[in-house]
């Protein structure tokens, strides 16, 4: 998450070239996708634990 915040700050700078913006955007999209996947995995694991423990 920290890197996504860093990327956002970098992208807000007026001096950033279009090529750099494109590179940063691609990195951010990949990181967001990775984080989303990790969250989904955690959610499924929690559901499975809850089902096994009969909460």
| CA distance linking residue 37 with residue 31, whole number of Å | 10
Q: What pTM, to 2 d.p., does this model score? A: 0.77
- Please report which confidence band the pLDDT of residue 10 belongs to, taking 50, 70 and 90 as the band edges: very high
Domain ranges of the chain: 2-53
DSSP assignment string, the chain = -HHHHHHHHHHH-TT--HHHHHHHHHHHHHHHHHHHHHHHHHHHHHHHHHHHHT-
pLDDT, mean over the chain: 95
pLDDT at 2 (0 to 100)? 95
Could you read off the pLDDT of 29-46 as tens digits, one per residue? 999 999 999 999 999 999
Measured N-to-C along each axis, helices 2-12 and 18-53 cross at an angle, to the nearest 10 degrees, of 150
Other CB atoms within a 10 A radius of the CB of residue 14 amount to 4
**Percent above pLDDT 70 for the chain:** 98
């Amino acid at each position: 998450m920290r890197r996504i915040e860093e990327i956002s700050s970098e992208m807000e700078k007026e001096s950033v070239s279009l090529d750099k913006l494109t590179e940063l955007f691609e990195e951010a999209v990949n990181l967001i996708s990775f984080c989303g996947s990790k969250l989904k995995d955690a959610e499924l694991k929690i559901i499975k634990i809850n089902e096994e423990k009969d909460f």
